[in-house]
Structure 1
Amino acid sequence: MFKIIIITACGSFFLSTCAIADCVYDTGGTTPTLTFTPPKTLVIPRNAAIGTKVYTSPIMILTSRNYTCDGVINTGVRNLVGTQPVGSSYVYPIGNSGLAFKWSYTGASQSELYYLESFPNSASYTNSYLTVNGSSNGFEIIKVGPVQTGAEIPAGNILESKRGSLTDTILSLSQKIVVTESTCTTPNIMVSMGDQKSSGFSGVGSRLTPKAFNIALNACPEGIKGVKYRLDPTTEIVDPTSSVIALSKDSSAIGVAVQILDNIDKPLPLGTDLVFSGYKPVGGNFIIPLKAAYYQTAKGIKGGTANSSLTFTMTYE
């Protein structure tokens, strides 16, 4: 007795048809590539917080593309320039640069911008014919870690949107981007107090005529939105309210300290971040005008050398 055994991957019926879950373009359909021209240099504020948006691309409109999807398939964005995110994410690392891409998207009939999620996400279709036309696409670059100055974001394809095995859109750069951190040049400062007479003091808490000096901010690049600065003494703070600091150990004067003032002779807060109101985002050269004065701390004064020092720290926004 003869028996016929028919083996099929899709069922138990002779001449059955196997449906493969996937998406396919219409005849002649091809994957569109949106090519952006970014700046050649991307300047990142040195103290920018994690998550700070450091660049937003222009928007490009995607022309019509048609394809058919059937079955349960994986969709989402694949990262072509760094590690593929694990799990659901909208952030695509750019190598080890400390930066990442986000793909922004607004549908033709939508008004709200949202971000495309990483591959793979499961989606179910039943022989669905899809037409995508007129969507707005772009990308953002955000800070995700310590920025590697001199790192390069390569030209070429950076992100691709997948529907099954079909690539439905590619984002590309026409030129590489070199990453730098934005800083101003700040030279060391030597304030010459000159020879001054103790007879100018009138008692504890009095001071001699202040000496003006400037903190120079040179060659500040365009794009820094704001600057904060702080002064931290390398010696003891004698009087925080009056911004008085002790002399250094190599000084021989007694009963004297140094007071730090702003340009209108008010005590300058020490160890505190202060906004420099004179800064302009166009960049260039700036000065922070300050003053220093000898300050009497004891009834008995002995003349001699009277030195002190502070460190100067800038924070960029």
Structure 2
Amino acid sequence: MREPIVKVLCGKRKMGLAGKLILGLLALVAVEAKAATCAPYDPAYYRDLSVPVVGPGIASVGEEVAVGSIIYYGSYQIEYMNMGWWCHWAFGEAPVTIEAFTKVNVISQPSGAPVLMGNKTVFPTNIPGIGMAVQMSTGIMTSWQYPVDWIHTPYVSTSPTGAGMSHSPLGHFNVQLIKTGPISTSGTQQVLASSFPVFEASQGTTAPSFFSQKFWTVRFNGAINIVTKTCQVEDVDVDLGSHQLSDFPTRYSTSEWKDFNITLKNCPPFHGYMTGTGRYIYDEKTGQTTSSGSPITANKLNFSFTSVHGNYNTYAANTETGPGTAEGFAIQMATQDSSNANINLTSNVPHTSLGITLTTNDGANYVIPLKARYYRYGATAKAGKANGAVTYTVNYY
């Protein structure tokens, strides 16, 4: 009589177990239905960008240009792309926090590892002494340092079933060449864009779900010619003549001016260079190149005149001393033009003060017309040899 009772109880246990399994499946289905998913607007979007040299592609860089100076600056504007993401979730799950990112990594460094100069990652190029920096900009953020991981401001959505955001992830590239050390003055150096790094850009979300989309590979093409040659200079002998002591009867009396020239030979073309006060801008959409600010900074030459025997004052070079030499005399120099400006022996003299107009002609010669004379500064004076020597140095900027 007990067997039927046992069979009924076993049946109840089996039904209870089956019921629990079904409830568990229903709970799992409910969780999956609520899980939010995020994806890019266009999962297939990808571009392999080749950014060209923007602007004239040539610059003249003097050896005195300071390390850290910008010598080229070009900007490349990308045709606007409506990039972004969509996130979807089940009704009733809002509010949902969306966390997005844009990353830029360096995937190739053909010229070696970069250094940090100020706020910029500066990559070496194929020319020693010249580095390359790039700024990638978006309406959300900008950076001169790489690799970089831009974390966007978290976005909290109260939309019932989903939300999206569109943005132009990288609006433009600013490319700079920067002087990082001495540059050979042998002539013209060609900086190859193929020696620049290659970048990879991606976007994605980390919440409420993860996705990552590589959308750009950025490489560079073309070349920039950097002129670093200097002028040839020569020694100049100036005969100031023989004079009687009586020709200088009083203190501050002088001899007649004697004209002479300093000639700079076989000079480089002076194209100027870009210092960051302006830049050339190429618009990918229109195909047009425009300029902003003053892209080109003109080259300049500074001359320093230094007396071998010291100065009597700012504008008078002492003559040599020793047995049989004159005393109380110095030598003055001035320009031959109407300004008759005395040459400063204690500070740099710009080329514009010496009547020089620099050109873009390669191999040009420049003549600097000067004059010199004796100058008596002593209350008493002694006759003798009155030889002087002044060295001149040309500094290129």
TM-score (norm 2): 0.59
Q: Which of 302, 305, 308 pairs up with 1:228?
A: 302
Higher percent of residues as helix: 2
Distance 2:387 2:215 in 1: 69
Aligned to 1:272: 347
Per-residue CA deviations over 1:160-179 (Å, capped at 9, x if unaligned) read 243378362413122x4454
Aligned to 2:122: 92
> How many residue pairs are counted as aligned between the two chains?
294
Aligned to 1:201: 248
Cα distance change, pair 282–26 in 1 and its aligned pair in 2 (3 A): same
SS at match of 2:346: coil
Q: Please say which of residues 265-274 and 82-91 is displaced more in the overlay.
A: 82-91
Deviation of 1:152 (Å): 5.1
Q: Which of 210, 213, 216 pairs up with 2:260?
A: 213
SS at match of 1:199: helix
Distance 1:144 1:303 in 2: 52
Q: Which of 307, 330, 336 pairs up with 1:258?
A: 330
Aligned to 2:46: 30
Unpaired stretches in structure 2, ≥5 consecutive residues:
1-27, 87-97, 156-162, 204-211, 273-297
Distance 1:88 1:261 in 2: 44
Per-residue CA deviations over 1:95-143 (Å, capped at 9, x if unaligned) read 4733332324565x79xx9654421335268997756489343412222
Per-residue CA deviations over 1:230-286 (Å, capped at 9, x if unaligned) read 21111121x215x22222357843225332221255532212112222343434433
Aligned to 1:47: 64
Larger radius of gyration: 2
Q: Give me the CA root mean square deviation.
A: 4.2
SS at match of 2:369: strand
1:1-317 to structure 2, matched below 5 A, reads 26-37=42-53, 42-57=59-74, 59-62=76-79, 64=81, 66=83, 75-76=103-104, 78=106, 80=109, 81-85=111-115, 89-95=119-125, 97-105=128-136, 107=138, 116-123=144-151, 132=168, 135-149=171-185, 153-156=191-194, 158-163=197-202, 166=214, 168-174=216-222, 176-177=223-224, 179-218=226-265, 219-224=267-272, 225=298, 226-237=300-311, 239-241=312-314, 243-249=315-321, 252-255=324-327, 257-263=329-335, 264-277=339-352, 278-283=355-360, 284-298=364-378, 299-304=380-385, 306-317=386-397
Unpaired stretches in structure 1, ≥5 consecutive residues:
1-12
Aligned to 1:5: none
Cα distance change, pair 220–73 in 1 and its aligned pair in 2 (3 A): same
One-letter amino acid of the structure 1 residue matched with residue 175 of structure 2: F
Identity of aligned residues (%): 17
- Asked if structure 2 preserves the Cα contact closer than 8 Å seen for 1:34 and 1:60, the reply is no
- Asked if structure 2 preserves the Cα contact closer than 8 Å seen for 1:77 and 1:116, the reply is no
One-letter amino acid of the structure 1 residue matched with residue 376 of structure 2: Q
SS at match of 1:301: coil
Cα distance change, pair 267–134 in 1 and its aligned pair in 2 (3 A): closer
- Asked if structure 2 preserves the Cα contact closer than 8 Å seen for 1:75 and 1:120, the reply is yes
Distance 2:169 2:225 in 1: 34
SS at match of 1:57: strand
Deviation of 1:33 (Å): 1.4
Distance 1:271 1:87 in 2: 33
Distance 2:118 2:216 in 1: 19
Distance 2:395 2:116 in 1: 34
Q: Please say which of residues 128-137 and 274-283 is displaced more in the overlay.
A: 128-137
One-letter amino acid of the structure 1 residue matched with residue 218 of structure 2: I
Deviation of 1:26 (Å): 4.3
- Asked if structure 2 preserves the Cα contact closer than 8 Å seen for 1:227 and 1:279, the reply is no
Deviation of 1:182 (Å): 4.9
Cα distance change, pair 178–24 in 1 and its aligned pair in 2 (3 A): farther
Q: Please say which of residues 96-105 and 130-139 is displaced more in the overlay.
A: 130-139
- Asked if structure 1 preserves the Cα contact closer than 8 Å seen for 2:51 and 2:76, the reply is no
